[in-house]
Copies of this chain bind each other. A is one copy, B any other.
Amino acid sequence: MALKGVLRPGYIQIRVTDLDVALKHYVDRIGLHEVSREADGRVYLRAWDEFDRHSIVLRQAEMPGMDYAGFKVASEADLDTFSRRIKEYGIEVEEIAAGEQPGLGRRLSFIVPTGHRIELFSEMALSDHGPMTRNPEIWREEPHGMRVTRFDHCNLHGPNIDQVVEFFTQVLDFSLTEAAETPDGIAAAFLSCSNKAHDVAFIRRAEPDKFHHVAFSLDSWHEVGQAADIIARYDIPLDIGPTRHGITRGQTTTSLIRSAPSSGRGGRAGGKRGRPTATPIRLLV
């Protein structure tokens, strides 16, 4: 198939309430590399097997949650096409100039029916430490921590799931790969722009713009076991696993980073103690 349209998840900007705690978790435990800290305080991270300059952006804030998630499209022309199609669909498109994030080109930013800010971009600087394509070594820098390979997807909670599915499938050309349907419409939608099981998931919830988890890819069930060892060793709260999903057969374990141990109402959907203060991180094969 020709590589056109939306290709894959590119970046996600996450609010954390304690940047040092979060970096300890994302860098030392999850195994991301710190790319840069910019003057505005944002920290840019990438997984060892990603081509792009960065994928995860952490921003210190009062309230945890997701600022936005960006998807890469194949070309600047595709960007123009999507800008037109999104507006035709009736959603306002904000265009953000290149450079608002280091290395990132111009992007489209818009709010989907669940209340989440989604972005599209086509240009991102390549990392100097990414996969090699000429006389390649297996990696440049030895993987560490949970050895996650890539930012895989995010799981978002909010209202209007039927509408968000319509938007992603009709306007952004995603496929609805899995769904939990109820008499009231779709309760859970798993949407893919590739041949992955999903590139983004939406779960029904009354409050808009809630962030459930960011997921990273791992290489094998063995790595899931090693990640679980790290979760146990450092007393990282465990949400689930190691197990295999019934749907998608993905082998996984999910941990919870407490990014705001003492905060009040927070960004996490589905928090079990009424005071969501953490962002679960899913690891999967």
Contacts and interface: CB of A to CB of B under 8 A. Distances in A.
B5 A2 contact: yes
A80 interface: no
Tell me how many chains of this kind the complex includes.
4
Interface size class of A (residues with CB under 8 A): 35 or more
A138 B245 CA distance: 9
Contact of A225 (B173, B230, B251): B251
A148 interface: no
A69 B89 CA distance: 42
A130 interface: no
A249 interface: yes
Interface centre among A2, A5, A136, A251 (most CB of B within 10 A): A2
Interface of A: 1-7, 74, 136-139, 142, 144-145, 173, 175, 193-195, 220-222, 225, 228-230, 232-233, 242-244, 246-247, 249, 251
6 contacts: A1-B74, A2-B4, A136-B247, A137-B233, A138-B249, A142-B233
